[in-house]
Structure 1
Amino acid sequence: MESTDGHIQTMSQSFHDCCVWKGCEETRHWKIPCGDEHKYLRSQDVLQRTGSNCNCFHGLVDRVSAREPKVNQSHITLKDIKRKNDYENYLCCLLLPGATQRAALAIRAFNVELAQVRETVSDKQRGILRMQFWKDSIDHIYKGSTPKTPVATELAGAIHHFKLTRKWLTRIIEARAHNLSDQGYRNMEEVEAYAENSVSSITYLLLECLGIKNVHADHAASHIGKTQGLVTLLRSTPYHASRSRVYLPLDLIVKHKISQEKIIRGRDDQAVKDVMYDVACTAHKHLATARSLTEDVPKEASLVFLNTVVCEWYLKALQNCDFNVFDSRLQQRNSLLPLHLWLQKRRKTY
């Protein structure tokens, strides 16, 4: 199997078998309330192969249904998400079964829409208006109105099919809205709180899609979400620094007596490395805590915890680079990631 980007090498047919839309004949249509009528989205209208050069990756098609008026098709293509925005989580979604995979793709696409707001608007007020649009869209979905955008349409299908908890969706929007400014975090607790609200909430939704209601699974999801949030903070530091932004906790910057200017310039300074080390240690601690709950967590939950593979890989790579987040080796895509994710799924662990 090869990706169009040339980053994925030939792999076994078994990985392909895990990625296809199958085993859910009873859910081939999602019913979305629309006043006194109902509209149906056919699975073939939503999932298709991304191209002849990619034998197992499926994306959301450029159209949801010919019956949906005025659909902005450019926002729904998960091929773009795979290549540019959320490639690793996209791979994790492909290893989920049947209708859960489709719902996960919708939830991830929704998250990408929110994450892109800060980078695409010219001022904070416009970003707030965009977030309000999504709040209103969620309100309309739960009231049974027909969504007007492709991502919202698919999200509506997931919400009604799996009876997803509204609180988690609202919490993601509120966390993203609160994070629209360029102001950094005051301390590690603020970073963890943001990760809990924006990342862990997604994991709670995915657990609901699998029908898992378990306090230990929720506990593990909370720590894994914080791990992923902290790893994302580390990985995004070079990108933000190139735009004169620093989101690392202020208390760590003060503790190690460095200026934000050093971080913006990408200095290979030991004090800067010490800040990254502290963040990485906190991320590793949360990952270890989540894994300590393995015996009490249902095996099925490991499917939504596959992103621990990504987090562990990055933390080890960062350690090998002496905690220099600006090292060019950390910017390279892990070409073996699909294989590692597949093996993790087979082991039914995280």
Structure 2
Amino acid sequence: MPVSLSAIGAFARTHDPDRFLCALFAPEARREAVFALIALNHELARAREAASNPLAALIRLQWWRDAVEEARSGRPARRHEVAGPLHDAVTDGALDPDALLGLIDAREAETEEGGLATEQDFVTWLRGTAGGWSAVAGRLLGAAPEACEVLRALGAAYGLAGVLRSIPVHAAQGRCLLPADRLAAAGLTAEDAIAAPDSPPVAALVREMAAEGLTALADARRDVPAEAIAAALPAVLARRDLARLARGQATGERGLGDRLAVSWAGLRHRV
């Protein structure tokens, strides 16, 4: 860890400790840009949580689109703790504006009334959000396009684990991000999952989806370049989380075992 952590690094550590730990395995010259990408992802993820309605969430997302476009055009950075470092990363050429806009666009699915209708919608959303973060991070770290698509799949698995872990949290917010068709196949609706997120039918669906995700993760290619290992490391946590969820175990807070697993994978450059 750096002796003196920057403001954006401290923001990343506070709001996304998982990806922050992974970012420590990025080359030092690129680490600040990875921190800025982590911070942007946090701001995008909370756009719907912090908004009182879908329109307000869309306005928040548009604010970030404008910030990216202003950085692209060389206009001054916005006075914001995340927008400033993000602006620097774009103007320095570390982050591609189009890739960032793709991350923003992917978040619009969370603002739609009725949630995600189909499992395909759900997979597309995972690949665009958590998967998109890993792909953009990989590109930032020098991975080739083919490797970035491998990273996208690995990141999507981390996103799935995050959704399944967060069902009670989302329920408390009056939200459900599980696809409607999978809920219906289990005899559930989004309203059921929100009302009773710990009920046996919801728990059974979580176990089922976690097992499927674990299988997909085991089948995924994991040959990513060593310099981009920081973008792949969330998959280490995904594997551990999905295994617990598939067994019906609570994931809870991160423990020493999780941190050691990430560190060992990072040192070996293998996930």
Judge same fold: TM > 0.5, yes or no: yes
**SS state of the match for residue 234, structure 1?**
helix
> Would the aligned equivalents of 2:61 and 2:104 in 1 still touch at CA under 8 Å?
yes
Please say if 1:145 is aligned against 2:72.
no
Post-superposition CA distance 1:26-74 (Å, at most 9, x none): xxxxxxxxxxxxxxxxxxxxxx3xxxxxxxxx3x32xxxxxxxxxxxxx
State the percentage of identical aligned residues: 25
Which residue of structure 2 aligns with residue 309 of structure 1? 236
**SS state of the match for residue 95, structure 2?**
coil
Which residue of structure 2 aligns with residue 284 of structure 1? 214
C-alpha deviation, 1:254, in angstroms:
1.6
Q: CA separation in 2, counterparts of 1:86 and 1:97?
A: 19
C-alpha deviation, 1:151, in angstroms:
1.4
C-alpha deviation, 1:193, in angstroms:
0.5
Which residue of structure 1 aligns with residue 2 of structure 2? 20
1:82 to 1, 4, 13: 13
Please say if 1:258 is aligned against 2:188.
yes
Q: CA separation in 1, counterparts of 2:227 and 2:25?
A: 12
> Would the aligned equivalents of 1:185 and 1:250 in 2 still touch at CA under 8 Å?
yes
Q: CA separation in 2, counterparts of 1:197 and 1:232?
A: 14
Q: Which has the larger radius of gyration?
A: 1
Post-superposition CA distance 1:175-223 (Å, at most 9, x none): 21331245222121111101111222222222222222241x1231121
1:169 to 100, 119, 127: 100
C-alpha deviation, 1:261, in angstroms:
4.9
Q: CA separation in 1, counterparts of 2:23 and 2:70?
A: 26
Q: 1:89 to 1:128 in 2, by over 3 A?
A: same
**For residues 58-137 of structure 1, what are the structure 2 equivalents within 5 Å?**
58=5, 60-61=6-7, 76=8, 78-79=9-10, 81-83=12-14, 85-137=15-67
User: Which stretches in structure 2 are left out of the alignment for 5+ residues?
Assistant: none
1:195 to 126, 136, 144: 126
Give the structure, 1 or 2, with the largest relative contact order (CA under 8 Å, sep 6 or more).
2
Q: CA separation in 1, counterparts of 2:209 and 2:237?
A: 16
C-alpha deviation, 1:80, in angstroms:
5.0
Q: 1:174 to 1:111 in 2, by over 3 A?
A: same
C-alpha deviation, 1:156, in angstroms:
2.0
Q: Which amino acid aligns with 2:244?
A: A
1:299 to 218, 226, 243: 226
Which residue of structure 1 aligns with residue 254 of structure 2? 333
Q: Which amino acid aligns with 1:283?
A: G
C-alpha deviation, 1:81, in angstroms:
4.4
Post-superposition CA distance 1:86-137 (Å, at most 9, x none): 1111111122221211110001101111112212222222222221111111
Q: CA separation in 1, counterparts of 2:109 and 2:192?
A: 27
User: Which stretches in structure 1 are left out of the alignment for 5+ residues?
Assistant: 1-18, 22-47, 49-57, 62-75, 323-328
Q: Count how many residue pairs are aligned between Structure 1 and Structure 2.
A: 269
C-alpha deviation, 1:267, in angstroms:
4.1
1:237 to 142, 146, 167: 167
Which residue of structure 2 aligns with residue 343 of structure 1? 264
Q: Which amino acid aligns with 2:162?
A: T
Please say if 1:221 is aligned against 2:151.
yes
Q: Which has the higher strand share?
A: 1
Q: Which amino acid aligns with 1:273?
A: A
Please say if 1:321 is aligned against 2:215.
no
Q: Which amino acid aligns with 1:101?
A: R
What value does the CA root-mean-square deviation take over the aligned residues? 2.2
